[in-house]
């Protein structure tokens, strides 16, 4: 073992290994950060959504780093509430009614238009429908009346950017409202007007009740990873994808690879019946198609990530690498020092674990490191095949969602490319370490 540690230190001499270690270290760091910053239950809540979780996110927004790639500053989401920056004026009308005027001001200084505009309202009275009017004031002072006497439930949302009446020609409401006809008259080439906007709401409500409202001017970029078509923040999956991928890969590699290794050692040493049994099991297992079995389980039983992992491990214990290891052990067990150990009375267990396995660990270690990304990719492949865990935010699930939403066709490249890059980076990191280990432990390659 000490010699293995000693050899690991020589990793430092390989720049590629250092790069690999840096990548893997980064992933581990991200994983630790994520698990602390976004606890599991919180991550599930953010990913599974539910009432109001995603409402304030823009739909299909690009990651904020898109801003660095464009000369223009891309619009971000602006939220104005009547409790916050908004101003309320209440005038009693008698008859138990009051006139309420809410002014929602905000500054807009981006070079691109918002993606959507929505106004939410929440009142404490029930059953009563009231009416309200909205006036939009641009920085230049021009006004547009959005609605007059629109009826409103106690809890309502008015999707301003979807109101067909506000569409002028081919100019969508969120463009028309953010640009002045007199300043940029064409349908195309419009630029948003910068400055202080105001939305003025007027309504009459019963006295003694509360009324709050919230204006959301959705931007075109959101979070460091963007959002998907249901306004879900992709960064949750990008972050939580790291620990899940590492865990799946590591558990898979330990469960399948290390178990195979130990069983191969035991079988080879004991020989006879045990060895024959392991070999037959391996041959049998190599005939079993892994993917169809997984698809069947996914379709008819459960798509839990951990169940899939369990099945993968069980099916890969007696995999082809059993035969590779067996060949190595057959050679290693002939070493005179093993005969010597028998002569001084070492038990079978001791010989297997203290004499036989350590001899092959140098071969196992690089393979073990290289097998980790293979399991990570397997998880992604399962997700793309629609067998991803329905609960967990994994990179594979992102790719799968992006694919079914035609993200590439729709131009939402980030949605698919970010998880793909994360997967490739993981594979790359482990591969760099694995190949360096291979070169250190199996020096014959060094000259090649």
Partner 1 sequence: MTQETQNVLLSVEDLRTWYELRKWGFFHAGYVKAVDGVTFDLRHGQAITIVGESGSGKTTLAKTLLGLVPPTGGRMDLAGHRYDSERVKWLRFLFKQSERAAWRNKRERRTWIRAKVGFVQQDPYGALAPFMNVRKILAEPLTIHRVPKHDQEERIRAVMEEVRLTPSEDFINKYAHMLSGGQQQRLVIARSIVLEPELLIADEPVSMLDASVRVEILQLLRRIQESHDLGVIYITHDLSTVRYFSEYVFVMYAAKLVEKAEVSELIHNPRHPYTQALLTAISDPDPDNARVFKDVPKGEPPSLAHPPSGCRFHPRCKRFMADLCDVQMPVSFEPVAGHQVECWLYR
Positions touching partner 1 (CB under 8 A) are 1-4, 335-337, 339-347, 350, 354-355, 358-359
Nearest CB to partner 1, comparing residues 1 and 36: 1
Nearest CB to partner 1, comparing residues 45 and 359: 359
Residue closest to 240 by CA, chosen among 30, 7, 447, 29: 30
Give the integer Cα–Cα distance in Å for 342 and 345.
5
* Rounded least distance, CB 344 to partner 1, Å: 4
Nearest CB to partner 1, comparing residues 206 and 358: 358
Contact call for residues 400 and 298 (beta carbons, < 8 A): no
Cα separation values, 359 from 44, 99, 307, Å: 44, 86, 33
Nearest CB to partner 1, comparing residues 201 and 357: 357
Q: Give the CA dihedral 83, 88, 94, 96, nearest 10 degrees.
A: -10
* Rounded least distance, CB 421 to partner 1, Å: 40
Q: CB 145: neighbour CB atoms within 10 A?
A: 10
3-state DSSP helix/strand/coil % of the chain, to nearest 5: 55, 20, 30
At residue 406's C-alpha, the angle toward residues 401 and 408, to 5°, is 105
Nearest CB to partner 1, comparing residues 2 and 71: 2
Residue closest to 228 by CA, chosen among 381, 46, 72: 46
Nearest CB to partner 1, comparing residues 360 and 384: 360
Give the integer Cα–Cα distance in Å for 342 and 352.
11
Nearest CB to partner 1, comparing residues 22 and 270: 270
* Rounded least distance, CB 3 to partner 1, Å: 5
Cα separation values, 289 from 249, 261, 306, 315, 319, Å: 20, 22, 20, 9, 12
Nearest CB to partner 1, comparing residues 122 and 279: 279
* Rounded least distance, CB 389 to partner 1, Å: 41
Cα separation values, 15 from 6, 22, 220, 433, Å: 18, 10, 40, 10
SS3 category, 286 = helix
Q: How many residues are there in the chain? A: 448
* Rounded least distance, CB 358 to partner 1, Å: 5
* Rounded least distance, CB 7 to partner 1, Å: 10
* Rounded least distance, CB 342 to partner 1, Å: 6
* Rounded least distance, CB 352 to partner 1, Å: 13
Residue 149: both structure tokens together: 């006497």
* Rounded least distance, CB 250 to partner 1, Å: 24
Nearest CB to partner 1, comparing residues 35 and 338: 338
* Rounded least distance, CB 331 to partner 1, Å: 12
Give the integer Cα–Cα distance in Å for 408 and 419.
13
Give the integer Cα–Cα distance in Å for 164 and 173.
8
* Rounded least distance, CB 438 to partner 1, Å: 18
132 bridge partner residues? 150, 203
DSSP state letter for 352:
I
Task: State CA 436 to chain mean position distance.
Answer: 30
At residue 239's C-alpha, the angle toward residues 290 and 394, to 5°, is 25
Nearest CB to partner 1, comparing residues 181 and 337: 337
Nearest CB to partner 1, comparing residues 157 and 358: 358
* Rounded least distance, CB 347 to partner 1, Å: 8
Nearest CB to partner 1, comparing residues 51 and 343: 343
Give the integer Cα–Cα distance in Å for 388 and 5.
37
Q: β-strand 87-94 against 130-137: which pairing, if any?
A: unpaired
């Amino acid at each position: 073992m000490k010699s293995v540690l000693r050899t690991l230190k020589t990793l430092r001499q390989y720049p590629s290994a250092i790069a690999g270690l840096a990548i893997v270290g980064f992933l581990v760091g991200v994983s630790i950060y994520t698990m602390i910053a976004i606890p599991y239950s919180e991550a599930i809540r953010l990913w599974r959504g539910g009432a109001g979780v995603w409402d304030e996110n823009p739909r299909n927004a690009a990651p904020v780093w898109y801003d660095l790639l464009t000369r223009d500053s891309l619009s971000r989401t602006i939220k104005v509430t009547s409790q916050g920056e908004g101003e309320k004026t209440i005038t009693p009308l008698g008859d138990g009614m009051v006139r309420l005027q809410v002014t929602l001001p905000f500054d807009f200084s981006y070079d691109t238009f918002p993606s959507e505009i929505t106004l939410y309202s929440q009142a404490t009275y029930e059953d009563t429908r009231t009416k309200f009017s909205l006036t939009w004031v641009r920085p230049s002072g021009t006004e547009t009346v959005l609605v007059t006497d629109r009826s409103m439930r106690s809890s309502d949302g008015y999707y301003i950017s979807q109101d067909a009446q506000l569409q002028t020609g081919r100019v969508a409401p969120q463009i028309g409202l953010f640009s002045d006809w007199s300043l940029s008259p064409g349908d195309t080439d419009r630029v948003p007007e910068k400055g202080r906007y105001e939305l003025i709401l007027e309504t009459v409500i019963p006295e003694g009740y509360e009324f709050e409202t919230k204006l959301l001017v959705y931007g075109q970029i959101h979070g460091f990873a963007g959002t998907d078509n249901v306004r879900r923040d992709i960064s949750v999956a990008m972050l939580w994808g790291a620990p899940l991928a590492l865990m799946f890969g590591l558990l898979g590699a330990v469960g399948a690879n290390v178990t195979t290794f130990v069983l191969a050692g035991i079988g080879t040493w004991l020989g006879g019946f045990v060895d024959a049994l392991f070999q037959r099991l391996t041959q049998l297992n190599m005939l079993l198609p892994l993917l169809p079995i997984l698809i069947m389980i996914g379709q008819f039983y459960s798509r839990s990530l951990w169940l899939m992992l369990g099945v993968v491990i069980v099916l890969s214990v007696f995999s082809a690498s059993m035969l590779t290891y067996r060949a190595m052990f057959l050679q290693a067990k002939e070493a005179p020092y093993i005969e010597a150990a028998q002569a001084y009375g070492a038990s079978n267990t001791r010989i297997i674990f203290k004499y036989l396995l350590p001899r092959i660990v140098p071969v196992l270690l690089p393979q073990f490191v290289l097998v980790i990304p293979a399991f990570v990719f397997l998880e992604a492949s399962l997700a793309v095949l629609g067998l991803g865990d329905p609960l967990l935010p994994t990179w594979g699930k992102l790719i799968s969602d992006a694919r079914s939403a035609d993200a590439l066709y729709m131009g939402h490249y980030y949605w698919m490319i970010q998880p793909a890059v994360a997967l490739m980076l993981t594979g790359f990191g482990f591969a760099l370490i694995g190949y360096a280990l291979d070169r250190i432990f199996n020096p014959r390659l060094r000259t090649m």
